[in-house]
Amino acid sequence: MKLYYSPGACSLSPHIVLRESGLPFELALASTKTHKLADGSDYYAINPKGYVPLLELDNGERLSEGPAIVQYIADQVPQKNLAPANATMPRYRLQEWLNFITSELHKGFSPLFNPATPEDYKPAAKERLTGRLKWVNEQLEGKAYLMGDQLTVADAYLFTVTSWTKYVGIDISGLPNLGAFMGRMAARPAVQAALKAEGLLQ
């Protein structure tokens, strides 16, 4: 498998999941600014959407959209318990989390990273995001991970988007459960390996 990624972008989520899975894979750097690959070729030729992540399977098929990719990876290694079994209520709970993270958190950061966003709009965007993160903090009460004691693919996604708070000026120091979760995730060998591979950790 080959994961097309950009350092620190949302592709960090499937990158972490791939390392947690133990499956063999290679990384392909795709610039989100120039939409070029490392060899100068056009990334749009690989993914017409132009953004990361994209997972190229060994049979040549390509899968886009992070929440779909991480579930695909998890289902290749069911013994790792990175996602509950299909057609069970816990699996729908996992999908509930993935949908929340993608629509309420991930997309909430987009205007804060967009240079075209008017400055007077940003405080409202930050306030909305902070409210959503406060809710996540409450859900983590008494739990190591979103689904309990077992790490799932949703945790990799939450870790990835929450790590963006420091780049956009959102203070999460008052959210102790979320802070503890971030520390727990950052200490995982798979997370450290992914961050090092992307040049985000010395």
* Fold (CATH) for 89-188: Glutathione S-transferase Yfyf (Class Pi); Chain A, domain 2 (1.20.1050)
As a whole number, mean pLDDT of residues 78-93 equals 98
Q: What is the share, in percent, of the chain residues with pLDDT greater than 90?
A: 99
pTM of the model as a whole: 0.97
- The hierarchical CATH code for the domain 2-81+190-197 is 3.40.30.10
Domain extent listing, the chain: 2-81+190-197, 89-188
Give me the amino acid identity at 92: Y
Contact 35, 28 (CB under 8 A): no
Structure confidence at residue 202 as a pLDDT band (50, 70, 90): confident
Contacts of 77 (CB under 8 A, 6+ apart): 21, 22, 23
Residue with tokens 């995730």: 185
**Is it the case that residue 28 has pLDDT exceeding 90?**
yes
